[in-house]
């Protein structure tokens, strides 16, 4: 049985090391290391590969279309890169190996989004609009569905609300007409009242909450209140639905906060 991937195994691979923590989590959920026994040949060679292969452990013999052989060992600088996608004629395991196959189109999508978001952050910084809260907000799975060209206009629709410690923000059972992003301070997600009240989570800046009630058109199933003075950014239902109407098919890849 394959051992589960550790995040550091992805962070050490190039170009996976350029992805955000959320993107790595999203990618990890769909990956499983593949064994390649000593002497076994990697089957993708000779065809146009649909995946990039990374060597997690062991060593390989690589033979190019001119017959030149080279060796690749996991953990070396060269071994941090994916196998060449052209000119390879033969790839053979010199010992028992573990490889990781990453779908080409999926990786390109993640890399493109990451680069686009970094470009947005750079432009906002040059315009003097960048704060410490903005990068984790843009890395939220909700904003990951927004076309990069529309991010600035979406940020302009957010309404800042200053709150005091202990102030309630969402109430369990009420109808949802907006969602929130935590810009500063910390907030608590709770369920129930009185002696039966349970703390479900503590939210940090950049967290998004309240979207579940909007998407499923049902009462909020948890309450949120501030643990300390802070600021939230409110996104109205109409803007929220416009944001997601073409992107909701990607919902399964989102990081799930406790729903409210």
Burial of residue 138 (CB within 10 Å: 0-12, 13-18, 19+) is buried
Q: Are residues 77 and 139 in the same domain?
A: no
From 86, 104, 122, give the residue that closes a domain: 104
Q: Are residues 140 and 93 in the same domain?
A: no
- pLDDT tens, position by position, for the chain (260 residues)? 455 577 777 899 999 999 988 788 878 878 888 999 999 998 765 555 688 999 999 999 999 888 889 999 999 999 999 998 777 888 999 999 999 999 888 898 888 888 877 887 787 777 776 666 777 777 776 666 666 667 777 788 889 999 999 999 999 999 888 889 899 999 999 999 888 889 999 999 888 888 776 677 788 989 999 999 999 999 888 887 776 664 443 343 333 334 45
Helix H, strand E, coil C: the string for the chain is CCCCCCHHHHHCCECHHHCCHHHHHHHHCCCCCEEECCCCECCCCCCCCCEEEEEEECEEEEEECCCCEEEEECCCCHHHECCCCCCEEEEEECCCEEEEEEEHHHHHHHHHHHHHHHHHHHHHHHCCCCCCCHHHHHCCCCHHHCCHHHHHHHHHCCEEEEECCCCEEECCCCCCCEEEEEEECCEEEEECCHHHCEEEEEECCCCEECHHHHHHCCCCCCEEEECCCEEEEEEEHHHHHHHHCCCHHHHHHCCCCCCC
Note down the domain range covering 245.
131-253
Q: Are residues 136 and 100 in the same domain?
A: no
Q: Are residues 32 and 140 in the same domain?
A: no
Q: Are residues 98 and 170 in the same domain?
A: no
CATH of the domain at 200: 2.60.120.10
Residue 178 lies in a domain: yes
Residue 259 lies in a domain: no
Q: Are residues 246 and 137 in the same domain?
A: yes
pTM comes to 0.66
Cα dihedral 159, 257, 247, 21 sign: positive
From 52, 69, 104, give the residue that closes a domain: 104
Residue 74 lies in a domain: yes
């Amino acid at each position: 049985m394959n051992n589960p991937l550790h995040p550091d195994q992805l962070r050490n691979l190039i170009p996976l090391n350029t992805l955000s923590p959320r993107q790595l989590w999203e990618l990890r959920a769909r990956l499983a290391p593949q064994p390649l026994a000593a002497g076994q040949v990697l089957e993708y060679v000779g065809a146009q590969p649909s995946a990039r292969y990374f060597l997690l452990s062991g060593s390989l013999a690589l033979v190019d279309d001119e017959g030149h052989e080279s060796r690749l060992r996991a953990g070396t600088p060269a071994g941090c890169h994916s196998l060449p996608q052209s000119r390879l004629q033969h790839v053979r395991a010199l010992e028992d190996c573990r490889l990781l196959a990453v779908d080409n189109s999926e990786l390109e999508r993640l890399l493109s989004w990451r680069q686009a978001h970094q470009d947005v952050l750079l432009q906002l910084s040059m315009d003097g609009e960048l704060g410490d809260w903005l990068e984790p907000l843009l890395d939220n799975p909700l904003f990951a569905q927004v076309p990069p060209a529309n991010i600035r206009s979406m940020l302009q629709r957010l309404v800042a609300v200053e709150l005091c410690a202990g102030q309630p923000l969402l109430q369990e059972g009420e109808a949802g007409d907006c969602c929130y992003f935590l810009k500063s301070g910390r907030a608590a997600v709770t369920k129930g009242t009185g002696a039966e009240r349970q703390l479900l989570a503590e939210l940090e800046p950049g967290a998004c909450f309240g979207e579940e009630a909007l998407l499923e058109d049902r009462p909020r199933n948890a309450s949120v209140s501030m643990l300390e003075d802070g600021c939230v950014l409110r996104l109205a239902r109409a803007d929220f639905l416009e944001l997601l109407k073409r992107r909701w098919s990607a919902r399964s890849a989102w990081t799930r906060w406790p729903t409210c």
